[in-house]
Structure 1
Amino acid sequence: MRILYLALKDLAQILRDKKSLLFLVAMPIIFTVFMGFAYGQGNQPQDPRLALAVLNLDADGVAAGELVADLQRSTVVRVEPVDAALSESDLQEQVGRNQFAAALIIPQGFSAAALNGGRPQARLVADTSSADGQNASQAVQAAFIRALSSAEIARLTLDAAQSAGLPAGQFDSDGLVHAAETAWQTPALKVERVAPPAAQESQSNPYTQTSPGMLVQFAVFGLITSANVLVLERQSGALQRLQTTSASGAQIIAGHLLAMFVVVFLQQAILVLFGQFAFGVKYLAQPAALLLVMVCVALWAAALGMLIGVLARGEEQVILYAMAAMFLLSALGGAWFHLEATGGLFARIGGLLPSAQAMTAFQNLIVRGLGFSSVLVPAAVMLAYAGGFFGLALLRLRRS
């Protein structure tokens, strides 16, 4: 009963503070909308092909024109025409600075050499020790072979017509080259990429990242009001008087923790419903798993808020500690962006945090479409953090 009494007292005190509604409900919703818009704008589809600089000094030649046209149709490289005044050394420097994956230089007379049966030369500048350089080189080599093959077919056709005594005016070398090049464009095998429905939805709906991200972020930031209750009790002497009663330290901590838990859980419930019905985030696809995740998030966040409350000496320190925790856990825990995009040490360190476990659990449900078992490990880690924060808060209270 003491635990329940303390929790109800805290909740009544929190609800009397009208500013708490701003921090607990209005700000998370506003930030979710803003971050979702920003994330969606930054996630606009971009051309994923490798940039290929093309310096075409044989612009009027048919074979050179077909080579460039073939490269423009490539799914691997993206043709970037460059100024004819650039030298080969300039292009090498730009490739070295990764402005381009490779640079192709087509010299004058390239087409004439191809149609006369000669050995047309072209220069490709690329770092073949890198994956991008290798892929760009392969794409250029394939297009080069197709362009020369088309020119050779045109030349052989003209020679055969001349040997047969046909009028030369009936045949157009440019047209023959173009016809042969067109024949190369008919694919023998069509490959289609199919992404899982959940992955497709996550790419088109930025709120699958920002909605749970802001939920996790403000679960920490919203504890400022709750932690202040404990600070005010200590400053007024109410906490010291409570410690002289039969209530144990664990009961005092548990009572305040229960109030914080209720605050965070209700905040989550509002944001989940808002995300589900306003932004189309599929929170309710797995209700039981979602409930488990929400309970675990509320427990570790409330326990962290309890620790902040016993550590802080005043309202200013509560705000400072809560802000520091919010930024650290949000940035490193993947609340602002996918940790998978960072990789390396950053992702490994961030993945250990309770905020990262919360994001993993939420996205297992709403992005990856996984079931109840997918949230068990993140839930266990979050519960371990809750126990650790609770133990530290109790130890600090007993020493104070």
Structure 2
Amino acid sequence: MFDPPIDLSDLPGYQATASTRPARTAFLGRCSTKDNQDPRSSIAGQLAEASALLAPGEAFTAHFWDVESGMLGLDERSQGSADDYARLGVPVPRDGGLRELLEWVERGELDRVVCERISRVARDMLPSLQVEYHLASRGVTLECANEPRGGMTTGQLELRRTAQVRAEIYRHELLEQSMRGQRQHAAAGYRHGPPCYGYIAVVDADAPPAANRFGGGRPKMRLALHPDSRRADTVQEVFQLRREEQLRDSEIARVLAADLDRHPLADGQVLWRPTRVRRMLAQPKYSGYQVFGRCAARTNRSRINPIADWVWSREQAHPMLVPLEKWHETQLVTAQMQQRQAPGWDRVNEAAAQRRIQLRAVRESDTHILYEAAGRQFVLPRGDLPAAVADEVIAILEAGA
């Protein structure tokens, strides 16, 4: 219906010239961790579905796939080593993961990328869109085997965006269900994370089996006192040195290091560091209660969540090393010591408070402290803070506000 009024088919350029170069098509796949899915069947199944989009006689130029969570950001993807993937025994060749795919695209070595469905690119919509945009801006098409072929672009786009939204909603649903289970796990007193100094993890033989689960499942564990009783004594002495003598982290570390026979190091520990002492003093599990949600594990493990958001077990779940009242008193002493800044700190603290920026100590030595605030880290001396240094710190806080 849009033909010219006369026959122009004899003119050069009447029809687009077909490229003589065969299309360079890559396979992109992903499955969750090997604990949740069997990558051998999952990746092979995705490849079989994606192969339906190949032309007769065409083969994939390269294969890119990952075995990891689709909730990771682009900068966190494709972290596994070649040896790790070789041990999985997946019957599909691997030229890399998503990160390597983007590098191939950047070098102009691909024309088309095919995957089973858009959620295999990423669970979150933002990184999925970022990959799609990156490919399109370099002339590389992204096709999904579960999307219809032909028709109008708007229909295909609506289906793809709907699938991306659904994938992200499913991701949040999984997180909500997982967090609900983690809270109940902690409330019942079962262990979360590695055991802290002075404890070991033991299987709770009295724990009920997981309902509606085929197979054994992971056993529930609780904390128990370490067989070396010196560790329990060390924990109690650390709290006493802070609470009664108000020693700094570095001073307590020196006390412990001076007598390793009484204060043994933890496995893999080479010396007593102030940061380890600080973590020990902040650990509420020494009160005998199980506690979950202290740190922002997925975003920033160094950031401590508000205490009001922590999940405490309904009752004491393991042997107590420090009574909860003494732990509470120790936290007050620590807070008071942190507020006792030299006069030069007044303007810095006021500037931080006005901008609702937390000035947090990361680690320290006998003479200096490494602070973090407003996305920046800087080293400041102990004691008096020179006016010029205070001005520079305030400028950093103002820039990050």
Give the structure-1-normalised TM-score: 0.22
Give the structure-2-normalised TM-score: 0.22
Per residue, is there more strand in 1 or in 2? 2
Considering Cα pairs closer than 8 Å and 6+ residues apart, tell me whether 1 or 2 has the greater RCO: 1
